[in-house]
């Protein structure tokens, strides 16, 4: 039997996974997780083959008590050669703490929509860009490389649709300031494959030097269709969190991140290389869930 046989071709053969579990995954957990457990999770992730891990956040402990032990976590993890350890810095003070720790990669954050940026960072998009220009300049002078999130890149829970060209403008500004990588954040799980493809390919096609990543949140599985559409747009860096942790499963529109172990499963089924060990990342995902008050019950069902 012959017959038509269309090949399914993706422009991507290898994906670099940016693991955000220890930071984005754990930051909203209602019960304080021990520093030792955070260190153990990070070490399991790098042992599984993750080469880029967002370990913690230099946010003020008043805002995110869960991340108050940032320095201790960074001091305690096993530093493996070839692994880039990152931390989120919300502002210049966070950057100075990161520099004091000797960290050489940090991550900045802002939103594409005014309403969400004001709610999250208490300033306008323009003010965030101005501050990030200073932060990124200071980071570069200290030899620290900067990755930049653009939140609400695929839609804003307050404003609805976000103009892809607005996202591009912000991405180009951040690239101009010196960010080496932009990550488009689907902050509240509003993306769909069309927006994932169109926003992704627009930004990807216009960045000159900076790399581009996509960062989706859980949306009952739709996030994996969004990943597929992003791969089709040529995006080869995907953010995810072991165990699918993050957000609050009880609050609508604030679900967790894409589960790294499922992302690895899908990519490997597709023949796309990740450099990550399937079994070890499954274990890391189970361990991550065991740390989560939100997911502990669910994990018990598996």
Which residues contact a copy of itself by CB under 8 A?
1-8, 10, 164-166, 168-169, 172, 192-194, 197-198, 201-202, 205-206, 218-225, 227-229, 233, 249-250, 258-259, 262, 265-266, 269-271, 297-298, 301-302
Q: Is 101 a catalytic residue?
A: no
Nearer to a copy of itself, 94 or 200 (CB): 200
Cα dihedral 47→181→135→177 (10° resolution)? 160
**Tokens 């940090």 identify what position?**
106
Whole-number minimum distance, CB 144 to a copy of itself, in Å?
Answer: 29
Q: Which of 134, 132, 106 is nearest to 121 (CA)?
A: 132
Contact 111, 132 (CB under 8 A): no
Nearer to a copy of itself, 69 or 186 (CB): 186
Instruction: Record the tokens describing residue 31, joined without a space.
Output: 């019960």
Nearer to a copy of itself, 48 or 227 (CB): 227
- Residue 117 to residue 124: CA distance in whole angstroms: 6
Whole-number minimum distance, CB 46 to a copy of itself, in Å?
Answer: 23
Instruction: Record the tokens describing residue 250, joined without a space.
Output: 């009880």
- Residue 43 to residue 41: CA distance in whole angstroms: 5
Nearer to a copy of itself, 279 or 302 (CB): 302
Q: Phi, psi (5° rounding) for residue 282?
A: -65, -45
Whole-number minimum distance, CB 82 to a copy of itself, in Å?
Answer: 29
- Residue 55 to residue 204: CA distance in whole angstroms: 26
Whole-number minimum distance, CB 243 to a copy of itself, in Å?
Answer: 11
Nearer to a copy of itself, 139 or 191 (CB): 191
Element housing 225 (H / E) = helix 222-232
- Residue 213 to residue 205: CA distance in whole angstroms: 13
Phi-psi region of 112 (alpha: psi -120 to 50; beta: other; left: phi over 0): alpha
Count of residues for the chain? 302
Whole-number minimum distance, CB 247 to a copy of itself, in Å?
Answer: 13
Candidates 50, 101, 156, 248; catalytic one: 248
Catalytic residues: 248
């Amino acid at each position: 039997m012959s017959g038509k046989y269309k090949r399914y071709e993706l422009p991507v053969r290898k994906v670099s996974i940016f693991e955000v579990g220890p930071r984005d995954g754990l930051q909203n957990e209602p019960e304080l997780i021990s520093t030792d457990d955070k260190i153990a999770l990070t070490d399991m992730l790098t042992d599984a083959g993750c080469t880029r891990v967002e370990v913690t956040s230099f946010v003020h402990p008043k805002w995110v008590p869960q991340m108050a032990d940032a320095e201790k976590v960074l001091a305690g993890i096993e530093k493996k050669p070839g692994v880039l350890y990152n931390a989120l810095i919300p502002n210049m003070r966070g950057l100075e703490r990161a520099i004091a720790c000797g960290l050489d990669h940090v991550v900045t954050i802002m939103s594409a929509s005014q309403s969400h940026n004001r709610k999250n960072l208490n300033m306008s998009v323009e003010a965030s860009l101005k501050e990030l220009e200073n932060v990124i300049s200071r980071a570069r002078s200290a030899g620290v490389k900067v990755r930049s999130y653009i939140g609400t890149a695929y839609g804003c829970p307050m404003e609805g649709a976000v103009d892809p060209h607005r996202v591009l403008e912000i991405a180009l500004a951040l690239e101009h300031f010196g960010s080496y990588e932009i990550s488009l954040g689907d902050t509240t799980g509003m993306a769909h494959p069309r927006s994932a493809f169109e926003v992704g390919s627009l930004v990807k096609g216009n960045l000159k030097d900076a790399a581009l990543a996509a960062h989706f949140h859980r949306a009952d599985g739709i996030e994996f269709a969004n990943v597929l559409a992003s791969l089709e747009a040529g995006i080869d860096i995907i953010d995810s969190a072991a165990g699918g942790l993050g957000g609050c499963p009880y609050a609508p529109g604030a679900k967790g991140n894409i589960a790294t172990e499922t992302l690895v499963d899908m990519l490997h089924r597709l023949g796309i290389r990740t450099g990550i060990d399937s079994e070890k990342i499954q274990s890391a995902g189970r361990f991550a869930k065991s740390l989560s008050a939100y997911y502990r019950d669910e994990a018990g069902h598996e």
